[in-house]
């Protein structure tokens, strides 16, 4: 199925949760996830399934300066 991730159309397997997508892409857990305009708390990533045409924004937090 197609979803939009950070502005790019991306093909992913049907029924993935946000957590499964993050694991598959080796993404760090120090990110903020917005799904269709709503911020999803980290404790909900495993329960939140992605659907066709969903729009995800994943923003990595950077520490230091």
Check pLDDT > 90 for residue 58: yes
Write down the pLDDT at residue 65: 64
Total-model pTM = 0.86
Tokens of 26: 């080796």
Question: How far is residue 62's CA from residue 1's CA, in Å, rounded to a whole number?
Answer: 31
Please write the tens of the pLDDT for every residue from 2-57: 999 999 999 999 999 999 999 998 887 778 999 999 999 999 999 999 999 999 99
Cα within 13 Å of Cα(38), Cβ side: 7
More confident residue, 58 or 28: 58
CATH 3.10.20.30 fits 2-60, yes or no: yes
């Amino acid at each position: 199925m197609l979803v939009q991730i950070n502005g790019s159309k991306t093909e992913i397997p049907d029924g993935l949760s946000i957590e499964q997508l993050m694991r598959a892409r080796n993404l760090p857990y120090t990110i903020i996830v917005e799904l269709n305009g709503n911020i999803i708390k980290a404790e909900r990533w495993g329960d939140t399934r992605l659907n066709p045409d969903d729009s995800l924004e994943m923003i990595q937090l950077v520490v230091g300066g």
